[in-house]
Structure 1
């Protein structure tokens, strides 16, 4: 089968190679990959920004969808031709995550999805939403699910609240779409004049250009009647955490879901403690939560925002597009059907 092998660390060393097609066990499913989506941690792996000790060669990318090609003889949930979302943490079926579940992560301890086929467990595959193409559904299992669980399960968002959405990457756009689905007022930030209107077209009630307002928490409060927002998701880490904390109201929620500008945080505890701010780190979710997310997408006809789609042979271009920071929405790699 065709696969993309990372033979040395760096985007330039992603190479198209032929490798054997894997075989399924009795409770496993062989999935033919149709589309994958790039996440920031995929770039971290490819460029070895954080050394995870991944041996090379390695098949990267952790998020995608496909079609069932064959099943093990004990599999009852799936049949050939079913459209499925491939799990990131393949053992996490329900409940809280555990160290046992966490041992197996697609694109890290397991081979990633830049390959024509992968073997998946029967019990954590989730059906692809009927209203989405494979390219639109590719970002659901990591980017989309992280936002869904953080906002719905952790922050417990509800109509009438206000959320601050930071930036215009695919994860932040999921936050905007889910927030509007639940009836929240949305204040969004961007550093691009061009993207300001795109955010408004997607449903943002107010947009702040953080180049014009470097201490954007003050502008957030001005646009929200002088008080902070109920919720924000910090996607950048080091450079934004201080403003994120200052942007929320008393008893506000700051979800820590990204580290684009760094992993080390310097936090002033005074506004954190005096305003009873909740900091909650979170990533992805379980198969049960992903299934709930799929139902919400179908019921509300949510369409994830796709910036661009690249063929497998142009995977390096896809990574360079993602790394540029110019994308509005998700960068997807599609396989030949």
Structure 2
């Protein structure tokens, strides 16, 4: 069967290979013919050797979707022909995470989505919303699950204010899902064009942090000095102290970003005096993905796709990911 192999920490080492066909599915397993994938920052970090613990070669890319083509014994609720997403955390089926559950990831420590046929435990497979194309569905697993868990963490709904940093995949899913939950959303970006598109998607207010570097002060002004119930920080050390400042008393800073680094010197007084909650996140369980998928289906949310690439354009897709696209980059597995 066809696959892409990443043989080392360089985009030049993305190679098309032929692998043996998988054996029939075992007890509790399914085989999935992969139809599409999408990129996240973790995939770029793996490809550039910036993610710890990678052993090359690896079939890359965590997120992917496809069609069930074989079902092992002991599997219920799934059948041949079902359109499904493969949860990237392959053994985290439900409940709170553990080091073991969160540490096993497709495209990192297990074969990823750039493969013709994937073998998966049925517990980590989620049926797709009917209205989604293959490419749109492929953008959901990491980004939408992360966004959903951030909103659930803060119980965001009517009367809540949510601040989103930037217009990447997690932020845009959080925008769409937050509006479906009835929350008020403030989006930041350095691009007026991207902010205009965010408003088209439902953002209530936007802040250009290039024009107003003190965007936390702007959030306070927009909330009459109260601050946000939830700040989803997708950036890292460059924004984290301002995220704390932008949160209300008792608010939550949901931290998932490391694009600007991870080593931060922090004054704890802001956290203590404002009784803030800092919540890290490592995606979530397959059950969480299922909840996000049902919310997307109920609200008829269309994921924002910046561009779709063919299998022969993989390196170009990674390069575009490094430039911070508006929305997600999908990959059509057109072997």
Distance 1:50 1:27 in 2: 31
Q: Is the 8 A contact 1:307 1:329 kept in 2?
A: yes
Shift of 1:83: 0.3
Shift of 1:25: 1.6
Distance 2:237 2:57 in 1: 31
**Equivalence for 1:329:** 327
Helix, strand or coil: the match of 2:306?
Answer: strand
Shift of 1:98: 2.2
Task: Please list the CA deviations of residues 227-256 of structure 1 after superposition, one character each: whole Å capped at 9, or x if unmatched.
Answer: 211111011111110110001111111001
Shift of 1:316: 0.5
Q: Is the 8 A contact 2:177 2:295 kept in 1?
A: no
Tell whether 2:43 aligns with 1:45: no
Q: Is the 8 A contact 2:168 2:327 kept in 1?
A: yes
**Equivalence for 1:101:** 101
| Cα gap change, 1:51 to 1:101, in 2 (>3 Å) | closer
Q: 1:1-337 counterparts in 2 under 5 A? A: 1-23=1-23, 24-52=25-53, 54-152=54-152, 154-325=153-324, 327-336=325-334
Distance 1:102 1:187 in 2: 30
| Cα gap change, 1:135 to 1:102, in 2 (>3 Å) | same
Shift of 1:92: 1.5
Q: Where do 4+ consecutive residues of structure 1 move more than 6 Å?
A: none
Q: Is the 8 A contact 1:31 1:120 kept in 2?
A: yes
In structure 1, stretches of 5+ residues that fail to align are none
Q: How high is the TM-score relative to the length of structure 2?
A: 0.96
Distance 2:78 2:106 in 1: 20
Shift of 1:158: 2.0
Shift of 1:179: 1.0
In structure 2, stretches of 5+ residues that fail to align are none
Decide which moves more: 97-106 or 242-251.
97-106
Shift of 1:121: 0.4
Distance 2:103 2:247 in 1: 35
Task: Please list the CA deviations of residues 179-220 of structure 1 after superposition, one character each: whole Å capped at 9, or x if unmatched.
Answer: 111111111100112112101101111111111111210111
Task: Please list the CA deviations of residues 18-59 of structure 1 after superposition, one character each: whole Å capped at 9, or x if unmatched.
Answer: 11122222321111111111011111111011332x222211
Distance 2:74 2:251 in 1: 48
Helix, strand or coil: the match of 2:45?
Answer: helix
Shift of 1:103: 4.7
Shift of 1:262: 0.7
Q: Is the 8 A contact 1:9 1:48 kept in 2?
A: yes
Distance 1:123 1:176 in 2: 28
Helix, strand or coil: the match of 1:231?
Answer: strand
Q: Is the 8 A contact 2:177 2:296 kept in 1?
A: no
| Cα gap change, 1:50 to 1:126, in 2 (>3 Å) | closer
Q: Is the 8 A contact 2:307 2:329 kept in 1?
A: yes
Helix, strand or coil: the match of 1:273?
Answer: helix
Distance 2:255 2:169 in 1: 16
Helix, strand or coil: the match of 2:85?
Answer: strand
| Cα gap change, 1:124 to 1:202, in 2 (>3 Å) | same
Shift of 1:12: 1.9
Q: How high is the TM-score relative to the length of structure 1?
A: 0.96
CA RMSD, 1 decimal: 1.4
Q: Is the 8 A contact 1:77 1:122 kept in 2?
A: no
Shift of 1:108: 1.4
